[in-house]
Amino acid sequence: MPGTIDKKLEELGIELPVPAAPIANYVGFVRSGRLLFVSGQLCDAGGALIATGKLGSQVTVEQGQAAARACAVNLLAQVKAALGDLDKVVRVVRLGGFINSAPDFLDGPKVMNGASDLMVAVFGEKGRHARTTVGVTALPRDAAVEVEGTFEVS
Amino acid sequence: MPGTIDKKLEELGIELPVPAAPIANYVGFVRSGRLLFVSGQLCDAGGALIATGKLGSQVTVEQGQAAARACAVNLLAQVKAALGDLDKVVRVVRLGGFINSAPDFLDGPKVMNGASDLMVAVFGEKGRHARTTVGVTALPRDAAVEVEGTFEVS
Amino acid sequence: MPGTIDKKLEELGIELPVPAAPIANYVGFVRSGRLLFVSGQLCDAGGALIATGKLGSQVTVEQGQAAARACAVNLLAQVKAALGDLDKVVRVVRLGGFINSAPDFLDGPKVMNGASDLMVAVFGEKGRHARTTVGVTALPRDAAVEVEGTFEVS
């Protein structure tokens, strides 16, 4: 029987992908006590990055928001793989957003809202999180956005 | 009756601002167990950023230090909002410092000392923290410095 | 009597350095409960940085990997200083990798594997960690790589 959060994902039309299997000596998530630390996720969807390049030159804010949302969906796929059941998420504790930015791009927070809004759409009040957003020089595979997450879980 | 740390702030002439209310689907802090995760704070003071632009081109190390100190004050404002009483801080666990940097700016740690020194001035030994300082391409609103924090609280 | 991990380090020919003493108001590590937060470590080895400058222009991927490995060795030196005995490491929870990058450098994860591989060589399965890798504009002392770590400890 699907859990509450699974139903919410269905309502939102979100299908969780198979989480990315790291191709090196790290893993998608590690749990320690009640905290689940999830590796930085890129904006893959449907088998490819949905936005590459830098905000402020090659990528629009709207494209960046969609990219941040995709990162958040990929975080949820990792959490689902970790817990089996997303109803075990007690709280989204923290998101760290890294925006692939031209040096004069100042709207990182608007981009990152794509990830934050997804968390609140899925989890409601317990989706509200602490957040840090910074603009970085380069990201793996030229992804437009990378987001890491920390979750309190039961 | 003001607590020990409140008195220390008064001695230091530091008035905590009303903490920034996030204007999106995130919050200033989340507590999980004994850890308090505080969102990245910019160098606002008195209603405006006290330094904008990049270290190494538009902002001096001294201005950057003042900016990092302002970020730290804003972290404390969030902690106060979270706990009511700063005496409940058991330890400043970790600060993450993001310095808006020209590509050849190497003195991020000197800048970040503005935040670290404030923590030790306020909390003494329990203000000493683990720290990571990096130079980033761009920060929200062109802030010179952004600092996030993790605190152990009772 | 050397512990299991100390023997493994010896087998691998790794001698832990005296951990860097921060020259400011922060420390190399802070423990909170079962989590040990270690400050960002640069790629020092034998008293000097082993690689300076940016990946994608001045530093090769191979040099970057060696640099990331050196950062990981320095993390272990801090953990040893914190715990006395590396056998008390229950799990490497998370590594955060910051690669000093030219704007078009996309191979941060390959560089960061130098750190991840070291953790698994030393700790085996419990060395596998969550990981976030980003390319930054500038690092302290122009280091090619900086890595921070979170460890679960007993």
Is residue C19 in some structural domain? no
Average pLDDT over every residue of A111-140: 97
- Give me A45's structure tokens: 């969807």
A66-87 mean pLDDT = 96
ipTM surpasses 0.90: yes
| Distance (Å) of CA A144 to CA A56, A96, A98, B39, C3 | 11, 14, 9, 22, 44
> Given this model, what pLDDT does residue C3 score?
87
B90 lies in some domain: yes
In a domain, C139, yes or no: yes
CB contact under 8 A, C106 and A138: yes
What percentage of chain C reaches a pLDDT higher than 70? 99
**Predicted pLDDT at C110:** 97
pLDDT at A87 over 90: yes
Q: Is residue C137 part of a domain?
A: yes
Confidence of residue B118 (pLDDT cuts 50, 70, 90): very high
Residue A103: its pLDDT value, please? Answer: 96
How many of the other CB atoms lie within 10 Å of CB of B4? 12
Chain C positions in Cβ-Cβ contact with residue B119 (cut-off 8 Å): 25
- Burial class of A48 by CB neighbour count within 10 A (0 to 12, 13 to 18, 19+): exposed
Q: Residue range B65-90: average pLDDT?
A: 97
The reported pLDDT for the residue numbered C59 is 98
Residue C109 has pLDDT above 90, yes or no: yes
| Residues paired with A95 in a beta bridge | A131, A149
> Residue C14: how many CA atoms within 13 Å on its side-chain side?
20
Lowest mean pLDDT among A14-18, A102-106, B94-98, C58-62: A14-18
Residue B19 has pLDDT above 90, yes or no: no
A109 touches chain B (CB under 8 A): yes
Query: Taking Cα atoms as reference points, which of C100, B125, C114 lies closest to residue A138?
Result: C100
pLDDT at residue A73 above 70? yes
Q: Is the residue at B20 inside a domain?
A: no
Q: Is B148 on the interface with A (CB under 8 A)?
A: yes
Instruction: State the average pLDDT over residues B12-31.
Output: 89
Check residue C69 and give its pLDDT: 97
For C142, the closest of B93, B106, B150 (CB atoms) is B106
C30 touches chain B (CB under 8 A): yes
As a three-state string, the secondary structure of A10-36 is HHCCCCCCCCCCCCCCCCCEEEECCEE
- 8 Å CB contact of A132 and B146: yes
Stronger pLDDT, B121 or C21, i.e. the higher one: B121
The chain-wide mean pLDDT, for chain B, equals: 95
Lowest mean pLDDT among B2-6, B146-150, C122-126: B2-6
Give the pLDDT band (50/70/90) at residue A23: confident
A/C interface, count of CB pairs below 8 Å = 93
Whether residue B96 is predicted with pLDDT greater than 90 in this model: the reply is yes
Name the residue in chain B with its Cα closest to that of A104: B138
Contact across the interface for B106 and C141, Cβ inside 8 Å: yes
Outline where DSSP puts E strands in B69-126. 89-100
Contact C30 B93 (CB under 8 A): yes
Q: Are strands B145-153 and B35-42 parallel, antiparallel or unpaired?
A: antiparallel
Tell me, what's the pLDDT at A21?
76
Domain count, chain B: 1
- pLDDT tens-digit map of A132-151: 999 999 999 999 999 999 99
Radius of gyration of the CA atoms of chain B, in A: 15
CA distance B24 to A119: 12
Tell me what pLDDT residue C20 has: 76
A142 near C CB under 8 A: yes
pLDDT digits (tens, 9 = 90+) for C42-57: 999 988 999 999 999 9
- C-facing residues of B in 55-84 (CB < 8 A) are 56
Assess B28–A contact: CB distance below 8 Å, yes or no. Answer: yes
Q: What is the mean pLDDT of residues A87-116?
A: 98
Residues of chain A positioned with their CB less than 8 A from the CB of B37: 93-94, 130, 150
| B2 located within any domain | no
For residue B60, what pLDDT is reported? 98
Under the banding of pLDDT at 50, 70 and 90, the label for residue B1 is low
pLDDT at C1 over 70: no
Question: Tokens in use for A148?
Answer: 């890491």
Are A59 and A106 contacting, i.e. CB atoms less than 8 angstroms apart?
A: no
Least confident of B10-24, C6-20, C100-114: B10-24
Question: The CATH number of the domain where C109 resides is what?
Answer: 3.30.1330.40
Domain that holds residue B79: 41-153
Decide if B116 contacts C24 (C-beta within 8 A): yes
Domain annotation covers residue C33: no
Residue scoring higher pLDDT (B62 or A46): B62
Which tens digits make up the pLDDT trace of B24-62? Answer: 899 999 999 999 999 999 999 988 999 999 999 999 999
Q: How confident is the model at residue C37 (pLDDT cuts 50, 70, 90)?
A: very high
Which is it for the CA torsion C133, B131, C81, C138, positive or negative? Answer: positive
Task: Return mean pLDDT, chain C.
Answer: 95
C117: helix, strand or coil: helix
- Does residue B2 register a pLDDT over 90? no
Amino acid sitting at position C142: D
Our CA-based measurement puts residue A143 at a distance from the nearest CA of chain B, in whole angstroms, of 16
Strand B89-100 and strand B145-153: pairing?
Answer: antiparallel
| pLDDT at res. A58 | 96
For residue C3, tell me if it sits in a domain: no
**Distance in angstroms (rounded) separating the CA atoms of residues C11 and C2:** 12
